[in-house]
Amino acid sequence: MDIEQIRKDFPMFKNNSNLIYFDNAATTFKPSCVLDKIQEYYTHFGVSVHRGTYNLSVAAEHMFEDTRAEVARFINSETSEIIFTANASYALNSVALMIKDTLNSGDHILSSPLEHHSALLPYQNMEQEKGCVLDYINLLPDGRVDMSNFNKLITNNVKVVIVSLVSNTMGYYLDVKQICSIAHKKGAIVIVDMTQGISYYNVDVKKMDCDFAVFSAHKLLGPTGVGVMYGKHKYLEKMSPVFYGGEMIQSVSYHFSKLAPIPYKYEVGTPNIAGVIAFGEAIRYINSIGKDAIHEREQELKNYLIQELSKIQGITIYNMTCDTPIVNFNIDGVPSHDASTFYDSYNVAIRAGQHCAALVTNFLGVNATLRASLYFYNTKEEIDKFIIASKKIVKFFSENK
Amino acid sequence: MNEMQEIYRKLLIKYYKNTYNSGLRNTGIQKESKNTSCGDDVIIEAVIKDNVIESIRNDAKGCMICISSASMLCKALEGKSVSEAKLICEEFSKMQKGAQYQETLLGELAIFKCLDSFPARKKCASLSFDAAVEIFMSI
């Protein structure tokens, strides 16, 4: 992998030459081909999809639908099982609302404290509104999901299991295939939040056998404002959409309307056409580098980052055995937001806070943490500069106690 | 040492490790201000008699800037008339927004001007001022 050449594809590196961007779990940079595609749509196609009777609209629609097919190939689903949403949070909420009618008082929902707020809050709401019970799988001392506890909690009363493929704070990979296999035997459906995981792992929803999955384009080099909701054909066919309106109907009369076939019945209104088309380009770009090569590169970066950061006295790493280059840590005795400002002063962009997963910081027994998250376009030289900055910050605060 | 480190050093030594009027007495008006995105949480308590701030205390949790600014606010407003205190809060707000402000009125609080270089942290410094302004509005 020629990283120098790859970095030239990303204008952000050229326009921010001193920036060390280690906040890729929040969002990734976009290669020029993705940005060009957005420009191309607005300057050469610029019309709506799914309703035009003229050639230009058909051309725009082809580009839009090409992305659907590209996404389907990317995760090995059927094309009709791919629904575009505004983002992953929107997709998670949509799935929750779609399955809400199938749940009754006393039904259990099983999740873990590692999940993003967007995964958990809709089900907290169902506890209040429908009398469902949200259970949490215990975490092992290192913060991984305790599979033996999962096996205990997964009973016939559990109707929904919601887990993430990779934790956005701890960077741990979860064997979702095993979760699906066990949950399905008890009759539960499994929703997988792949928002972080799909950046780092090859995903095959058929092999995994999950019932629903969500992710966002912007963590895969694509634009913001585009999310994906995957659902098994059988569920998408029988469930009802959350929103109604234009684009998603076949015929309308005074008191009854016939919905469009899947996936269109779940896509209401004019979509983010430019974003979706550009997302297709992002996937093609990732494919051109190769998911396996990307994974290998990320493992190298992760190992080097952990190795170097763990050498510094005065830093606590909370996920030494992380599977992905998402490192969760604190500088001892320094509130994370203050440390983050110091990193900022050294042109290092990392995240401070609870990372939309407050139950994790709660588990760790801290108010907030620092998160350094890398992507394949980061370099060992950047890690070296990050380590130098870390040492300076530790030194400063130890000298000014 | 760069400007920000110098400021942190001053804040740390003076106010983060040695807080001023920290801890509530539950004898005055209390207002809370929170930044839910980062966990900063400040309660300001003021005893106001005859339009004078007889006592002003804080309970601040969060980052160093948040905790320091709560102490500095208490030190700056203690013993002031309500109208003087309001003016200081207004000038602080102007400084935070990048508008013209009277530096002399702010005294030590003018140190937070450095946050112009780190706008993401301005909210940390202004939380205690938000709570104080709420107290003044409630009387």
H or E element in which residue B56 lies: strand B52-61
Q: Which of A37-41, A257-261, A313-317 has the lowest average pLDDT?
A: A257-261
Q: Give pLDDT, residue B1.
A: 58
Q: How many CB atoms are closer than 10 A to CB A384?
A: 13
Complete domains list, chain B, with CATH? 3-138 (3.90.1010.10)
pLDDT digits (tens, 9 = 90+) for A15-29: 999 999 999 999 999
This complex has an ipTM of: 0.86
Contact between A360 and A167 under an 8 Å Cβ cutoff? The reply is yes
CA atoms within 13 A on the CB side of A129: 11
**Following CA atoms B79, B81, B84, B87 in sequence, which dihedral angle do they give, to the nearest 10 degrees?**
110
pLDDT digits (tens, 9 = 90+) for A202-227: 999 999 999 999 999 999 999 999 99
How far apart are the CA of B108 and the nearest CA of chain A, in angstroms?
Answer: 20
- The answer to whether the Cβ–Cβ distance between B13 and A400 falls below 8 Å is yes
For residue B45, give both structure tokens: 């308590």
Sign for the CA dihedral angle at A152, A174, A115, A195 comes to: negative
CA atoms of A116 and A112, how far apart (whole Å): 10
CA atoms of A241 and A190, how far apart (whole Å): 19
H or E element in which residue A316 lies: strand A315-317
Residues 334-363 of A with CB under 8 A from B: 334-338, 341-342, 344-345, 352-354
Q: Which of A91-100, A254-263, B2-11 has the lowest average pLDDT?
A: B2-11
Tell which wins on pLDDT, A353 or A143.
A143
Angle between the N-to-C axes of helices B82-97 and B64-77, in degrees from 0 to 180, rounded to the nearest 10: 140
- The answer to whether the Cβ–Cβ distance between A341 and B4 falls below 8 Å is yes
Q: Which residues of B touch A344 (CB under 8 A)?
A: 118, 120
A155 lies within 8 A of chain B by CB: no
Q: Give pLDDT, residue A94.
A: 97
Residues in chain B: 139
For residue B118, give both structure tokens: 């780190």
- The answer to whether the Cβ–Cβ distance between B118 and A396 falls below 8 Å is no
How far apart are the CA of A203 and the nearest CA of chain B, in angstroms?
Answer: 32
Across-strand partners of A161?
A110, A190
Strand A158-164: give its sheet, edge to edge: A82-85, A227-231, A212-216, A189-193, A158-164, A108-111, A133-136
Which of A337, A355, A359 should be substituted to probe chain B, the one whose Cβ sees the most B Cβ atoms within 10 Å?
A: A337
pLDDT digits (tens, 9 = 90+) for A354-398: 888 889 998 999 988 999 999 999 999 999 999 999 999 999 999
pLDDT above 80 for A120: yes
Q: Give pLDDT, residue A249.
A: 87
pLDDT digits (tens, 9 = 90+) for A288-300: 999 999 999 999 9
Verdict on whether the full-model pTM lies above 0.90 = yes
Contact between A353 and A374 under an 8 Å Cβ cutoff? The reply is no
Amino acid at A58: V
pLDDT above 90 for A139: yes
Using only C-alpha atoms, chain B has a radius of gyration, in whole angstroms, of 14
Q: Which residues of B touch A338 (CB under 8 A)?
A: 8, 63-65
Q: Which residues of B touch A342 (CB under 8 A)?
A: 4-5, 8
pLDDT digits (tens, 9 = 90+) for A82-108: 999 999 999 999 999 999 999 999 999
Q: What is the mean pLDDT of residues B38-42?
A: 85
Q: Give pLDDT, residue A185.
A: 98
Name the pLDDT band for A275 (thresholds 50, 70, 90): very high
CA distances from A135 to A106, A150, A178 (A): 12, 10, 19
The partner residue sitting opposite A353, judged by closest CB among B17, B37, B64, is B37
Beta-carbon contacts of A41 under 8 Å, excluding residues fewer than 6 positions away, are A60, A63, A273, A274, A277, A278
pLDDT above 70 for B36: yes
- The answer to whether the Cβ–Cβ distance between B8 and A337 falls below 8 Å is no
Which ranges of B1-139 does DSSP label H, i.e. alpha helix? 3-11, 64-77, 82-97, 103-106, 122-138
pLDDT above 80 for B3: no
**Averaged pLDDT score across all residues of chain B:** 92
| Residue A33 appears among annotated catalytic residues | no
- The answer to whether the Cβ–Cβ distance between B12 and A335 falls below 8 Å is no
Q: Give pLDDT, residue B37.
A: 72
Q: What is the mean pLDDT of residues B105-126?
A: 91
